[in-house]
Amino acid sequence: SAVISQKPSRDICQRGTSLTIQCQVDSQVTMMFWYRQQPGQSLTLIATANQGSEATYESGFVIDKFPISRPNLTFSTLTVSNMSPEDSSIYLCSVDRSTDTQYFGPGTRLTVL
């Protein structure tokens, strides 16, 4: 498995501001993923982050709104920019450790007022 930590665990933010979420893994991984779980909804992939290259965004998600950094093989950040109440969600990072498994961090619960 993998030990994955996220910071912050939760935050309450004002609309129009930005929040950067950090994801740290206990060992090097090739791919890191960012997901969002809106209230009462399932998990939706935002983007895939590879070290040394631009993140790949899924349909409906854009870099200006969700910029991602991947400076090394154990760390990534996701920024939620110019937040609105609709951005209130749980944001999760995950990593792949084998060919058929992804492991998730504990999530960051974001509330936008």
Contact footprint for other proteins (CB under 8 A): 1, 4, 31, 33, 35, 41-45, 48, 58, 92, 94, 96, 99-107, 109
Q: Which of 10, 23, 37 shows the shortest CA–CA distance to 112?
A: 10
Cβ closest to other proteins, residue 17 vs residue 30: 30
CB of 93 to other proteins, least distance (A): 9
The strand pair at 108-112 and 10-13 is best described as parallel
CB of 1 to other proteins, least distance (A): 7
